[in-house]
């Protein structure tokens, strides 16, 4: 979304205020051309013929976004069997899906195995159970390199106290399991965290993974996860994926030469692909002035966009109803009966009740983390594709909330329980 001649437009053609009026608010809007830009940019960063991008779909699981990425050649990284099932519905082949859960039971792995996905195991207990259940099968293992990476502790997954992955210090135990069961390790995986800015963090973890790889002669692929940082503010810094692509391509080619054959290089970006494509439109319910603060209260809350409260995440905000108005200072808050503050003391074009505000970088971990807290409805989702807008998820209704509830319990007699 950008400003042109005093109005905001999606993909240069669709007026942003028109979307708010047509579909109501709150509403998530995704620009397909921005997702494709990010996908092509990452794809072009690596000078390796057998490099593949697996979209980490927990960032945004809308079926239409999954279908777009599949059409461009992406694979799918799934952390639950439900995400696997969504991937199949979106048209992904099981062999193009990597199942990478955490702390799930063997039963969920068995379901993924029956579907035929690639299996990624991140703890020794499940590795032992899976190996005994499916001796001789191929699996990937997730390694914890013990590297603290990412924007903060909530999004760092490779440090020593993380619940994710098998510690590099447990490698002898893994090798004993492999030897005793005949399980074949066909892939190695790591993911150290999100919002990683320093390319050297990636490269150090890569060197650790290359060292681990020497212990497994049957590898077919190495998955380096993701965590690339995207810009959240004007002039914000982000991961230089082109520099990273050059560095990792050179190191990976050298590793393959020493390993004795070419392997597939895999990455699993989520936020990098979809975050910047998303805009969340809300309507201002009320301007409330206190002795110290001017609040702009909107028709949404932490039930729709929890990242500012959960991660202390920053989302740039624009008043698209009055883009050229005089600047004033506002604290933007929601309508949930909790402290759901989106932004404190932001300088915005003067806001009036009824104005539409746009939250940027809302394509990843926004709708996918939404809930029905306070019995509020989850919002609609709209896709801007080739200059046209499409409703890709309707707004919920009270019937949707009640659909799974038993409404006549109090009228039941004890005999009815049998």
Chain-wide mean pLDDT for the chain? 91
pLDDT per residue over 354-381, tens digit each?
999 999 999 999 999 999 999 999 999 9
Please state, for a pLDDT cut of 70, what percent of the chain lies above it.
93
Whole-angstrom distance, CA of residue 143 vs CA of residue 168:
6
State the Cα torsion 343-346-348-352 to the nearest 10°.
60
For residues 154 and 193, the answer to whether their CB atoms sit within 8 Å is no
Question: Quick one: pLDDT at residue 413?
Answer: 64
Question: Quick one: pLDDT at residue 81?
Answer: 98
Please report where in the chains the tokens 């927990």 appear, as a residue.
Answer: 58
- Of the pLDDT bands very low, low, confident and very high (cuts 50, 70, 90), residue 197 is low
Whole-angstrom distance, CA of residue 343 vs CA of residue 334:
10
Question: Quick one: pLDDT at residue 289?
Answer: 97
Whether pLDDT at 415 is above 90: no
- Of the pLDDT bands very low, low, confident and very high (cuts 50, 70, 90), residue 174 is very high
Per-residue pLDDT, averaged over 84-89, amounts to 98
Whether pLDDT at 155 is above 90: no
Whole-angstrom distance, CA of residue 84 vs CA of residue 95:
11
pLDDT per residue over 107-124, tens digit each?
999 999 999 999 999 999
- Domains of the chain and any CATH numbers: 2-29+275-402 (2.40.37.10), 32-270 (3.20.20.10)
Which range among 66-70, 232-236, 326-330 shows the weakest confidence by mean pLDDT? 232-236
List of long-range contacts for 14-22, beta carbons under 8 Å, 24+ apart = 14/384, 14/387, 14/388, 14/389, 16/279, 16/281, 16/320, 16/356, 16/358, 17/320, 17/321, 17/356, 19/281, 19/382, 19/389, 20/281, 20/283, 20/320, 20/356, 22/389
- Name the active-site residue from 78, 206, 337, 366: 337
Cβ atoms < 10 Å from Cβ of 329? 11
Neighbouring residues of 140: CB distance < 8 A, sequence distance ≥ 6? 98, 118, 119, 120, 121, 185, 186, 187, 188, 189, 221, 223
256 flagged as catalytic: no
For residue 346, what are the β-bridge partners? Answer: 330
More confidently predicted of 153 and 403: 403
End-to-end CA distance of the chain: 58
């Amino acid at each position: 979304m950008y400003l042109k001649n005093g109005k905001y437009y999606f993909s240069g053609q669709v007026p942003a205020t028109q979307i708010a009026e047509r579909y109501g608010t709150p509403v998530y809007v995704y620009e397909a051309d921005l997702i494709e830009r990010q996908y092509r940019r990452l794809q072009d960063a690596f000078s390796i013929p057998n490099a593949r991008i697996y979209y980490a779909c927990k960032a945004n699981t809308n079926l239409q976004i999954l279908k777009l990425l599949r059409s461009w050649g992406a694979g799918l990284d799934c952390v639950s069997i439900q995400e696997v099932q969504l991937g199949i519905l979106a048209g992904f082949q099981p062999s193009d899906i990597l199942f990478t859960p955490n702390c799930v039971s063997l039963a969920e792995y068995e379901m993924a195995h029956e579907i035929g996905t690639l299996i990624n195991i991140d703890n020794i207990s499940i590795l032992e159970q899976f190996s005994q259940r499916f001796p001789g099968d191929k699996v990937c293992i997730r390694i914890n390199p013990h590297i603290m990476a990412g924007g903060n502790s909530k999004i760092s997954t490779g440090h020593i106290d993380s619940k994710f992955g098998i510690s590099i210090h447990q490698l002898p135990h893994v090798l004993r399991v492999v030897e005793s069961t005949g399980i074949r390790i066909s892939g190695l995986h790591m993911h150290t965290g999100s919002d990683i800015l320093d390319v050297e963090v990636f490269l150090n973890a890569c060197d650790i993974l290359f060292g681990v790889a020497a212990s497994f002669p049957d590898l077919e692929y190495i998955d380096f996860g993701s965590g690339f940082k995207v810009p959240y503010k004007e002039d914000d810094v982000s991961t230089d994926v082109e520099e990273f692509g050059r560095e990792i391509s050179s190191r990976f080619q050298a590793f393959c030469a020493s390993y004795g054959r070419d392997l597939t290089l895999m990455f699993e970006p989520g936020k990098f692909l979809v975050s910047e494509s998303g805009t969340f439109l809300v309507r201002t319910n009320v301007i409330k002035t206190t002795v110290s603060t001017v609040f702009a209260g909107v028709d949404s809350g932490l039930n729709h966009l929890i990242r500012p409260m959960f991660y202390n995440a920053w989302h740039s905000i624009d008043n698209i109803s009055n883009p050229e108005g005089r600047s004033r200072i506002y604290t933007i808050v929601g309508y949930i009966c909790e402290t759901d503050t989106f932004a404190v003391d932001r300088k915005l074009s003067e806001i009036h009740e009824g104005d539409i505000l746009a939250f940027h970088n809302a394509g990843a971990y926004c709708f996918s983390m939404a809930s029905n807290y306070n019995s509020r409805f989850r919002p609609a989702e709209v896709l801007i594709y080739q200059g046209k807008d499409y409703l890709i998820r309707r707004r919920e209704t009270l019937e949707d909330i009640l659909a799974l509830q038993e409404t006549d319990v109090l009228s039941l007699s004890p005999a009815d329980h049998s």
